[in-house]
Amino acid sequence: MKVTGICLITNQVPVLTAFYQKVLGVSAEGNDVHVELKTDGVGMAIFSTEGMEQMAPGSMQGAGHGCFTVNFKVDDVDAEYEKIKTMAVEIIKMPQTHPWGSRSFWFRDPDRNIVNFYSEADETR
């Protein structure tokens, strides 16, 4: 089995798309219902709640938003932090080197999901 991607379900596809395009510096293809972000590695999509309901009626009953942590491996956590802190985003964990050696910081997307930018132990500053 192989994980091939993540799809964030939202009531605000254009807002989440603009956020991730700016934060990740990537392009997106799609519309107000479904968008694919052009990232390296695992695929990332954003899909509307309404679109999900049309595909599978009842599938969104009881579903919430803001319940995910989306992890992105970056080359330089501190440089990314300097970029992100200039944006109107909520930083929830400042850059920190963990006892196991990796370095990360966390912030929230417009749906309140946690975005984790990290570098692995052998790549931290």
Backbone φ and ψ for 104, nearest 5 degrees, come out as -155, 165
Name which CATH class applies to 1-57: alpha beta
Say yes or no to pLDDT of 83 above 70. Answer: yes
pLDDT at residue 64, as a whole number: 75
Say yes or no to pLDDT of 123 above 70. Answer: no
pTM score of the predicted model: 0.87
What share of the chain in percent tops pLDDT 70?
A: 97
Alpha carbons 16 and 19: distance in angstroms, whole number: 5
* Count of C-beta atoms within a 10 Å radius of residue 33: 14
pLDDT at residue 124, as a whole number: 45
Say yes or no to pLDDT of 125 above 50. Answer: no
Alpha carbons 53 and 84: distance in angstroms, whole number: 33
Specify the CATH number of the domain 65-125.
Answer: 3.10.180.10
CB 107 within 8 A of CB 116: no
DSSP states of 48-66 as a string? EHHHHHHHSTTTTTT--SS
Burial class (CB in 10 A: 0-12, 13-18, 19+), 40: exposed
Model pLDDT for residues 49-70, shown as the tens digit of each residue = 999 999 899 988 878 777 789 9
The domain spans of the chain are: 1-57, 65-125
Asked if the domains 1-57 and 65-125 are classified in one and the same CATH topology, the answer is yes
